[in-house]
Amino acid sequence: MSNFLIGKTIKGLKIADDKKALLFITDDGEHIVKVDGDCCSASWIEHMELPALGFPAKVNAVQELDMPNLPQSDDDYGDVTAVYGCKISTDKGEIVIDYRNESNGYYGGNLSWPDDGYFYGGVYGQNVSNENWIEIKE
């Protein structure tokens, strides 16, 4: 996976308090990465793991991860929660992003990187972040 972060040094990382976006603070500025969901679905960041040796950390690789499926509930709406992951390998350890998407099972989610040129936000704006940033604690 080619990614704009490769070769950059991450100095810090923040998450929006609605869990719909991340703010990467790098050696060349700030970059927002958003979780998105197709049409009638909602996406969010469930969990983050930071590099063991902290920041600053130079990015060597970015890759999508296969994540285990969650047991599904048998509720009246047929909601399905899909689990996604992304690993950012750095010279100080790994950053692992665990994100989710909830839908009727037909739709999915993704991370929308700044160089993708694409952020949909959902039909009802359900995936648009408020971008109220908070520090991610180790």
Is the pLDDT at 77 greater than 50? The verdict is: no
137 inside domain: no
138 inside domain: no
Q: Which domain holds residue 39?
A: 9-116
- Contact (Cβ atoms closer than 8 angstroms) between residue 53 and residue 10: no
Q: What angle do CA 87, 85, 96 make, to 5 degrees?
A: 40
128 inside domain: no
Closest C-alpha among 48, 51, 26 to residue 35: 48
Is the pLDDT at 67 greater than 90? The verdict is: no
Mean pLDDT confidence for 107-124:
76
123 inside domain: no
133 inside domain: no
Query: Would you state the pLDDT for residue 95?
Result: 96
66 inside domain: yes
34 inside domain: yes
124 inside domain: no
Number of domains in the chain: 1
